[in-house]
Amino acid sequence: MREGLILKLSCPDKPGLVSRIASYASEYQANLVEFNQFTDRERDAFYARLEIDTSNLDISQDDFMAGFSVLGKSLDADWHFRRLPYRMRTAVLVTRTDHCLNEIIWRAQLGEMPVEITSIIGNREDCRVIAEKAGIPFHFIEMKENKEVGFQDIDSLLEEQEVQLVVLARFMQIMPEWMCEKYQGKMINIHHSFLPAFIGANPYRQAYERGVKLIGATCHYVTSELDAGPIIEQQVERVHHHHSVHDLVRLGRDCERSALAKGIRYHVQDRTIIDGHRAIVFPD
């Protein structure tokens, strides 16, 4: 990734928005490498993502970002700048299964996802080996009867490590409301069904009982309502009557890995904007 900036912005729709935003950039010799825009006509809202090459900028990046606030305020906008290149500080929470974790580590190593995995946190010891092989610290947090203690320990770890993104990579605990709120828009989950079908526990068993012909996985932002947060990505796989629940688990793993990897990639590249119950995604 080149040096530059990403600008994400949302505001009420009005005429001339593209012109005003693009003109601000070109005024200071910033070059737009990628420009994505979406006008939601149902809500009269405007959303944009700009990838900006700042190599010829005739002011500093800081001044460029600071100066934008005049325009941003006049548009009544929410906006966010990100400096490139960057790697997002990410914690991965796991329980037993390691396929999602393995996928994240592998893609991070390959450079497919600009994340720095600060730690792997497990409420079981199962994933310690894979963490250690990858040279990433593993933290065991026991979830006893009073789970609140465990969640506070997790929160302390996240705080201490200045984590920017929390990934629930088949973490089999329901997050408390206060954590959902605290990490709103910064906590991503992979649910092993094609949401909103099969919310909650044992979705593969539910899918088997219902006799569906496609199973799926859903990568979504965590909100306090279970499995109801904004969806970033979904994947499906065809199944047949002869597949047992065990087979669905096996086939579903591929959906989970793929959906989670794409979801994280979109998030860390600032390609997502949360819009109420929905996520706007400008895919790459």
Residues making contact with its own copies (CB under 8 A): 15-20, 22-23, 25-26, 29-35, 37-39, 41-42, 56, 99, 102, 106, 110, 112, 133, 194-198, 209-214, 216, 230-234, 236, 240-242, 244, 247, 250, 254, 258, 275, 277-281, 283-284
Measured distance CA(255)–CA(38) in Å, rounded: 28
The H-assigned helical ranges of the chain are 17-27, 61-74, 99-110, 128-133, 147-160, 177-182, 203-210, 245-268
Q: Which residue among 53, 98, 227, 270 is the active-site one?
A: 227
Nearer to its own copies, 83 or 277 (CB): 277
192/13 Cα distance (integer angstroms): 36
Report the distance separating Cα 215 and Cα 251, nearest Å.
8
What is the rounded distance in angstroms from the CA atom of residue 265 to the CA atom of residue 258?
Answer: 11
Q: Which is nearer to its own copies, 36 or 173 (CB)?
A: 36
**Is residue 247 flagged as an active site residue?**
no
> Closest distance between its own copies and the C-beta of residue 32, in Å?
5
Nearest distance, CB of residue 219 and its own copies, angstroms = 9
Are 196 and 254 contacting, i.e. CB atoms less than 8 angstroms apart?
no
Q: Which has the closest alpha carbon to 267: 239, 230, 237?
A: 230
CB of 47 to its own copies, least distance (A): 8
Least distance to its own copies, CB of residue 199, Å: 10
- The residue (of 159 and 284) whose beta carbon lies closer to its own copies is 284
Over the range 194-229, which residues count as b (16 or more CB within 10 Å of their CB) and which as e?
A: bbeebeeeebbebbbeeebeebbbbbbbbbeeebeb
As a residue count, the chain comes to 284
Measured from the CB atom, the residue of 154 and 268 that comes closer to its own copies is 268
Active-site residue set:
227
